[in-house]
Structure 1
Amino acid sequence: MDCTPEEVAELEERGWRALADSAAAATAFYREVLDTDPVMLLPGGLRLADREQIIASMGGQPWSRYRLEEVAVLRPAPDTAVVAYGVVAHRAGAPEYSALVSSHYVRRGGAWRLVFHQQTPR
C-alpha cells in the first residue's frame, strides 16, 4: 500500500499542529508516531536518542503559531519518506524561530514511524 507525498507531508503538519495545541497533544502525537529507536538532532547541539526522553521533550510550551515553507517529500525507497522544509514559528515571550527541518519516516506494520528528525536554525 503506497501513499502520496501529500499524505506524508500531512503527517508532518499534524506534528506541528499538536505542538501548537498543547503539551498533552504533542506528547500523544509523538507517542503514536515515533519509531522504537528514533534520533533527533536539535539546535544547540542537542542529540536525543531515547524514545521516552524525546516524547517528554515534546511536552514543552506550545507554539503560538507556525508556518511551514517549501515542503518537499522525497521517496528514496519503498516504505520510506523524507520530508524537508523551512519553518518559522513563534512562542509567547520568545524570539521568532526559523529553521530548516527534515524528518525521515519508515512504514512499519502499516503505519508511518518517525525515525529521524533534524532542525538546523537559519
Structure 2
Amino acid sequence: MTSVMSELLRLEMAGWESLCDGSGDDFYRQIMTDDGVMVIADGTVLDRDAVAESLRDAPAWSSYEISDERVVTVGPDAAALVYTGHASRPGDEAPFVAAMSSVYVKQAGEWRLALYQQTPLAPPPGR
C-alpha cells in the first residue's frame, strides 16, 4: 500500500469514526478546505459550514466498511480516494451502500478534504 493510500485511508476512516461517535460536525469543519464541498446521495451540494451544521444532530452510524479502495493522483499535492462504502444505523433495514470519492489536497503539509461525492448503489445480496 502506498504512503498516500495509507494516509488518505487513515483520514477517511477517522471521518467515518467521527460519524459513528457523533463528532462529525467538528471533524469535517476541521478537515475540509475553506471552499470544500460535499455532494451527498440525493444530489445536494453542501459547503463546509452546511456539512458541519447537517452533522450536528445527525443520527450516528453504528458501523461502516470501506472496500475496493484506490487512489487517483490528481496533481503533486492532490489525490482522490475512491471506494465503496457500506454503513448501517440501528433500525435500518439495509445498509447504505455507495461509490464514494474524496479529493484531498495538501495545504501547509496536511491533507485537507476539498470534495466528497457519493453515488448510492444497491446493497449486495445477503447484506
- TM-score scaled by structure 2? 0.86
Alignment pair present for 1:8 and 2:12: no
Structure 1: stretches of 5+ with no match in the other structure:
none
Aligned to 1:45: 43
Instruction: Quote the offset at 1:82 in angstroms.
Output: 0.4
Match of 1:31 among 29, 39, 42: 29
Q: What per-residue deviation string (whole Å, max 9, x for no partner) do you get for residues 30-64 of structure 1?
A: 1210100012111122111x321111112311101
The 8 Å contact of residues 32 and 113 in structure 2, kept in 1 or not, is answered as yes
Which residue of the partner structure matches residue 97 of structure 1? 96
Worse overlay, 70-79 or 28-37:
70-79
Note the alpha carbon deviations across 1:71-110, whole angstroms, 9 max, x for none.
1122221110100000111011223201000000101112
Q: Which residue of 2 aligns with 1:61?
A: 59
Task: Give aligned pairs, total.
Answer: 117
Q: CA RMSD in A?
A: 1.3
Q: How high is the sequence identity, in percent, across the aligned residues?
A: 36
- For 1:46 and 1:92, the matched residues in 2 are separated by 24
Contact 2:28 2:48 in 1 (8 A): no
In 2, Cα distance between equivalents of 1:75 and 1:56:
30
Q: Paired residue for 1:21? A: 21
Structure 2: runs of 5+ lacking an equivalent = 122-127
Q: Is the 8 A contact 1:9 1:73 kept in 2?
A: no
Aligned twin of 1:79: 77
Please give the alpha-carbon distance, in whole angstroms, between the structure 2 residues aligned to 1:58 and 1:78. 31
Q: Secondary structure of the residue that 1:27 maps to in structure 2? A: helix
1:88 & 1:65 partners in 2: Cα distance? 8
